[in-house]
Structure 1
Amino acid sequence: MLYLRLRPLAAAIFLTGFSSVAFAQLGQNLSVDIRSLSMGNAVTADPPGISAIHFNPAGLAKIEGLQTDVQGIVANFNVKRDLSAPAGYNVFGYSDDPIVCNDAPENPSSLCTDFKGTVNADVEYASIYVPILKKMVDLGEGVPIAAPTAGVAYKPPGSKVTYATAIYAPLIVGYGSENGNPGNFMGQQMAFERITYLSPSFAFQVNDELSLGASLGMSYQAMSLKTDLRFPNELIGVLRMVDDVVCSPFRDNSDIITDLLLLGLCNANEGLNPFGKFGQLKATMEQSLAPSYNLGLMWEPSDDFAFGMVYQSESKMRLKGKYYIDNANAPRELIRALNSSATGQIFAAILGFPSYIPASESGLVSMDLKYPAHFQAGIKYKILPDLQINFDVGWTDYKQWDQFKFEFDRQVSALKIAKLLSNGVTDSTLAVPLKFTSPWSWGIGIEYSATDRLKLRAGYEPRSSATPDDKRNTMIPINNAQLFGLGLGYRFDADTDIDLTLAFLRSRDNIPANTSSLSNATGVDNLILNPYAGLNVRTNTQVTLLGINYRTRW
């Protein structure tokens, strides 16, 4: 019973924050610059025009006079999710989960007699959060997410300093599904956005070989979520057994004695089911100004070789927002029944249980979140006069996401209950353990000058996951991934260039039953989120990106 009130609130707020982790790993450097995508993001020693603001601001020193960049990137997310029941599947003796079982609801057996096999729970369309409207917007099936960017840079004649600024999206992703999709229990609609709307930057040419640079990014951050909630664990299975077995003989013959002995639990008009829907959650958190800075160095002793290095700082944020929860009837009925008995009321008072669960709840929530710091270094080298190779290594500080701590604007009765069982919980705060790691990664890119005007590019970047094996889930439909890029650059004249890119990211993940405490673990201690407890989970994510960049000098 204490579980009932805690579950919707804790899971709801947790999902909202956790989506930021998911999207940060999924979308890092996918929506900043198309030339970089075609080179496997191995551009620290060869930064692309004004996008050097992000990749290595020291590279701005290469710009002469006045230059503008305008580019557009569109991304199509194809996220497939499959669920299946392994041999011996059950939750406290029950296996009639409608997600994986074909049995009719009126079937009296608690064990499934006809499993569906592999169940499709694919993402159906892209979604974005629109700040002005304060709502998520579905883009429709097959419609990609677009990320237009623009920048301007100026280096006065004879000066050693280049000045620049740009508008770009370090991260913008989102997806959604229709009602009834089995994947909706870990996000029916989700969106995560980080948009840098002002980035004053400069680069200083120390000498012919060395340049230094810095940029200040002023960004808008938002995360939004709509999700169904369910909690198929052993504790809810026990409560279903009590309703099915213990209460059944007294359903129509209860009296004051049975009420006192059974704490009034049998007075509920609807019993709990570990596979039933507990409600729905909508939540949004945002911050209008989330500053960060980039520091860069580039050493180019010859036309054939260069070394680059960049540090992208963490961004400390205080995200604030609201949550709305619609509670299902079954948990509301159980608390009502408990409080219908004198012994049940005493039991509830001793443990501090709520006197009732409302049909809907809402409130304010905030959290301190750090967008992780990133370090990258690389080289470019011309192995032939017309053939250049780039190689980069990078590290992102995801390990600082050891936990998320949510703070509420008032004492929350659910947290008063939860603190009896869980560490990291007080009357008005909730700390969720994540245990992320900080992996190193690398990328490689090749550029071939076919003619004086035409350049052909190819790149590859394998991405290591920061998610531990025991924390994987369908909300992060990506573990280890591979990014492939192809592109070309064409110079129309001495002052005008166009770049075209096609990139593809893929990731497959397998989460066997009972291996992840944030997806499908069984037992009574999965107190935060396990909507697919006991089920096998597979994900297959494919992201296709197309982009064009127009660069001109004045």
Structure 2
Amino acid sequence: MNKIRLSPLVSAIILTGCSSAAFAQLGTNLSVDARSLSLGNAVTADPPGISAVHFNPAALTKIQGLQTDVQGIVANFDIQREFTVPEGYNVFGYSDDPLVCKDGPEIAADICTDFKDKVTSEAEYVSLYVPFLKKMVDLGANQPVAAPTAGIAYNPPGSKFTFASAVYAPLIAGFGAENGNAGNYMGQQVALERVTYLSPTIAYQVSDELSIGGGVGMSYQAIGLKTDLRFPNELIGMLRMIDEVVCTPFKENSDIITDILLLGMCNTEEGMNPFGRFGQMQIALEQSLSPSYNLGVLWEPREDFSFGLVYQSAAKMRLKGNYRVDNAKAPRELINGLMSSPTGQILAAILGFPSSVPASESGLVSMDFEYPQHVQAGIKYKIMPDLQVNFDVGWTDYAAWDKFRFEFDRTISALKIAKLLSSDVTDSSLALPMGFTSPWSWGIGIEYSATDRLKLRAGYEPRTSSIPDGKRNTMVPINNAQLFGLGVGYQFDSDTDLDLSIGFLRSRDNIPANTSSLANQTGVNNLLLNPYAGLNVQTATKITILGLNYRTRW
């Protein structure tokens, strides 16, 4: 980032990209429908009520007359990160990182004499981005996030058409922590949400065995981020060495000769430190109308077997918003030092460095973002009259997240320095290579009819990570994940149903030191984002979801 200052803006933008990517995979389909959650989302051939608008529009033909669905999804996020020191840990010979070192200011040593056994960090509360306020809001410690949804469908008497629309949240997630949390260097507050507020859908019953359907979803998309910044990099370690070793004799008695020879780098009030805080970044991006469409087919050749297929289109967006960067004193002083020397000014001019770095910067930012397309197919089969098994396979085009490109409304001094390091950076834009993959996934669900009114459900959905090993990070700690679901359905009468479900998603990851370029890579080329360079990182995410659905026919 500013090789020295370029840090705050560039890195925080990168963090935003990472958060959206990781959250999208982590939170997909967790807050859409209670019954589907209990069946591991294996419902393409057996979609639930009006939520078929999302899972397979063709299944809306199973609705008779006028029907309404009202449901609430409540989720609790438990996100923990652990940092440990491997043997030989140091950055350019320095290891007195206050994050992992117990040594106090009374110990004047560059090498830590007493490391902490481990440092733990956990998310302390849920954060959501509120559109009208244009900012993130904390829900308080240990408070869950709620996603109420509703839908309505109508099948005119004797008609083969069914019309429906629903309000639901395909993706909603967010977390935050207080100042001083060890995990704040990759997101003190993070929020990502996609809310479909209108979804006009039509289904048509072609025959007794075949139905088709399609609909348009109109959604709101938002990304919010607040993060502290630091850059434990070899080049910054070298700058600390210059400040503490080379410059010490000249701090109080420099002259024109030393200014020329040392490029003015000794004329700073505060020197660079690879373990120091470089500032803080806040950014918010949103789009009020993000259209997409769903197409579905449902084939039911026998009473005990059905096949479903759904295609959910990509949603290409132009997210727009604001950013604010607060720069720490050390990086600002470094540029001031260069500007105090004739040779420093010449070097800065040759490299295109800014002549000064303000205490804070703000402006407008935009990015092209694509919510990926998804294809899913599944079957429903009744092994026995009272026992049904659902099985689905699906594919999501996360490879569309090969690169995120951010564009700014003005020339940014940080980017003027960053462009020297990468061809993906210009004076007013930044492209972040992500290299995501598009894995296949599957899910299975079992439904047992205990009585004519009572149904018991269980489901399992393993979620294969689309994040390459070399890009894993702690923004949203996720690699591979497992979703377990349990539920019960009860029919009060011929027109009223109630579904109660609970889901549990878990993900664990181990990122050994120097294995991820978005977390802990060491070396000279880790300038962009590695706040935990050289440290071992372990992550654990647990999400508990409770869903209640009330369905009524009129």
Name the TM-score class by shorter chain.
over 0.9
Deviates more, 1:349-358 or 1:270-279: 349-358
In structure 2, the residue matched to 1:241 is 241
CA deviations on 1:8-37 (whole Å, 9 max, x unpaired) are 111122222321101101101000001000
Distance 1:225 1:552 in 2: 40
* C-alpha deviation, 1:482, in angstroms: 0.5
Q: How does 1:247-262 map to 2 (within 5 A)?
A: 247-262=247-262
- What is the distance in 1 between the residues matched to 2:2 and 2:219? 40
Secondary structure of the structure 2 residue equivalent to 1:243: helix
C-alpha distance in structure 2 between counterparts of 1:151 and 1:172, whole Å: 18
* Number of the residue aligned with 1:135: 135
Deviations 1:137-173 (Å, cap 9, x if unpaired)? 1111111000000000000000000000000000110
Summarize the Cα distance change of 1:245–1:446 in structure 2 as closer, same or farther, 3 Å threshold.
Answer: same
Per-residue Cα deviation, 1:373-404 (whole angstroms, up to 9, x for no partner): 00000000000010000000000000111110
Matches within 5 A, 1:405-444: 405-444=405-444
Separation in structure 2 between the aligned mates of residue 290 and residue 235 of structure 1, nearest angstrom = 42
Say whether the 8 Å CA contact 2:2–2:415 is kept in structure 1.
no
Aligned partner of 2:495 in structure 1 is 495
Inter-partner Cα distance in structure 2 for 1:508 and 1:195: 28
Question: Is the 2:319–2:366 Cα contact (8 Å) retained in structure 1?
Answer: yes
Q: Is the 8 A contact 2:460 2:485 kept in 1?
A: yes
What is the CA–CA distance in structure 2 between the aligned matches of 1:336 and 1:231, rounded to whole Å? 20
Q: Distance in 1 between matches of 2:283 and 2:149?
A: 28
Alignment partners' CA distance in 2, 1:347 and 1:510: 42
Map 1:316-327 to 2 at 5 A. Answer: 316-327=316-327
In structure 2, the residue matched to 1:510 is 510
Which residue in 2 is equivalent to 1:302?
A: 302
1:106-132 deviation digits (Å, cap 9, x = unpaired): 421100001011101111111111111
Tell me whether 1:19 sits opposite 2:16 in the alignment. Answer: no
Equivalent-residue separation in structure 2 for 1:59 and 1:535 (angstroms): 51
Q: Deviations over 1:276-320 (max 9, x none)?
A: 000001100000000000000000011100000000000010000
- Which residue identity is paired with 1:361? E
AA at the equivalent of 2:520:
N
Provide the rounded CA distance (Å) in 1 between the counterparts of 2:9 and 2:54: 37
Counterpart CA distance in 1 for 2:524 and 2:239 is 12
Give the aligned partner of residue 163 of structure 1.
Answer: 163
Matched, 1:45 2:45: yes
CA distance in 2, matches of 1:450, 1:343: 84
C-alpha displacement at 1:428, in angstroms? 1.9
The 2-side partners of 1:419 and 1:130 are apart by: 34
Once the two structures are TM-superposed, the CA of residue 414 in structure 1 deviates from its matched residue by 2.6
Write the distance in 2 (CA, Å) between the matches of 1:399 and 1:18: 14
* Partner amino acid, structure 2, of 1:93: G
Unaligned runs of 5+ in 2: none
For the residues of structure 1 that align with 2:67 and 2:211, how far apart are their CA atoms? 19
1:163-242 alignment, distance < 5 Å = 163-242=163-242
Matched, 1:281 2:281: yes
Whichever residue aligns with residue 272 of structure 2, its letter is: L
Residue 454, structure 1, aligned to residue 465, structure 2: no
Distance in 1 separating the partners of 2:246 and 2:331? 18
Q: What secondary structure is seen at the aligned counterpart in 2 of 1:121?
A: strand
Tell which deviates more after alignment, 122-131 or 68-77.
122-131
CA apart distance, 1:425: 1.5
Letter in 2 for 1:497: D
Residue of structure 1 in register with 2:36 after alignment: 36
Cα displacement (A) at 1:489: 0.3
Deviation per CA, 1:512-534, whole angstroms, max 9, x where unpaired? Answer: 00000000000111132100000
Look up the match of 1:482.
482
Q: What is the identity percentage for the equivalent residue pairs of Structure 1 and Structure 2? A: 74
Structure 1 match to 2:86:
86
Is residue 2:63 matched to residue 1:63? yes
One-letter amino acid matched to 1:226: K
Amino acid at match of 2:339: N
> What letter is aligned with 2:242?
V
User: Which structure 2 residues correspond to residues 360-399 of structure 1 after superposition, within 5 A?
Assistant: 360-399=360-399
1:95 positional shift:
0.4
The answer to whether the 8 Å contact 2:354/2:416 transfers is no
In 1: Cα distance, 2:107 partner to 2:163 partner:
72
Q: Distance in 1 between matches of 2:544 and 2:413?
A: 45
The residue that corresponds to 1:99 in the other structure is: 99
Superposed displacement of residue 540, structure 1: 0.7
SS where residue 492 of structure 1 aligns? strand
SS of 1:266's equivalent? coil
Cα distance, 1:251 vs. partner?
1.5
TM-score normalised to structure 1 length: 0.99
Q: Deviations over 1:238-287 (max 9, x none)?
A: 10011111111112221211111101100101000000000001100000
SS at match of 1:22: helix
- CA distance in structure 2 between the aligned counterparts of 1:105 and 1:354, rounded to whole angstroms: 34
| Cα deviation 1:495-548 (Å, max 9, x = unaligned) | 000000011000110000000000000011113210000000000110001110
Query: 1:340 maps to what in 2?
Result: 340
Q: Distance in 2 between matches of 1:150 and 1:476?
A: 29
C-alpha separation in 2, matches of 1:185 and 1:305:
51
Once the two structures are TM-superposed, the CA of residue 175 in structure 1 deviates from its matched residue by: 0.1
Whole-angstrom CA distance in 1 between matches of 2:94 and 2:369: 39
| Cα distance between partner residues in 1 of 2:6 and 2:363 | 15
- Check if 1:468 corresponds to 2:468: yes
Query: Is 2:511 the counterpart of 1:522?
Result: no
Whole-angstrom distance in 1 between the partners of 2:208 and 2:282: 55
CA-to-aligned-CA distance 1:174-215 (integer Å, 9 cap, x gap)? 000000001000000010010000000010000000000101
Structure 1 residues 412-421 or 359-368, which shifts more?
412-421
Structure 1 runs not aligned, ≥5 long: none
- Taking the aligned partners of 1:109 and 1:55, their CA distance within structure 2 comes to 60
Amino acid at match of 1:349: A
Q: Matches of 2:434 and 2:348 in 1, distance apart? A: 32
CA distance in 1, matches of 2:422, 2:11: 14
Distance 2:207 2:309 in 1: 17
SS of equivalent residue, structure 1 residue 278:
strand
In 2, Cα distance between equivalents of 1:425 and 1:24: 25
Shift of 1:418: 2.0
Match of 1:122 in 2: 122
My pick for the range that moved more, 100-109 or 40-49, is 100-109
Q: Which moved more, 1:333-342 or 1:182-191?
A: 333-342
For residue 427 of structure 1, report the CA deviation from its aligned partner. Answer: 2.2
Aligned residues: 554
Per-residue CA deviations over 1:302-344 (Å, capped at 9, x if unaligned) read 1100000000000010000010011000001111111111111
SS at match of 1:5: coil
CA distance in 2, matches of 1:2, 1:188: 22
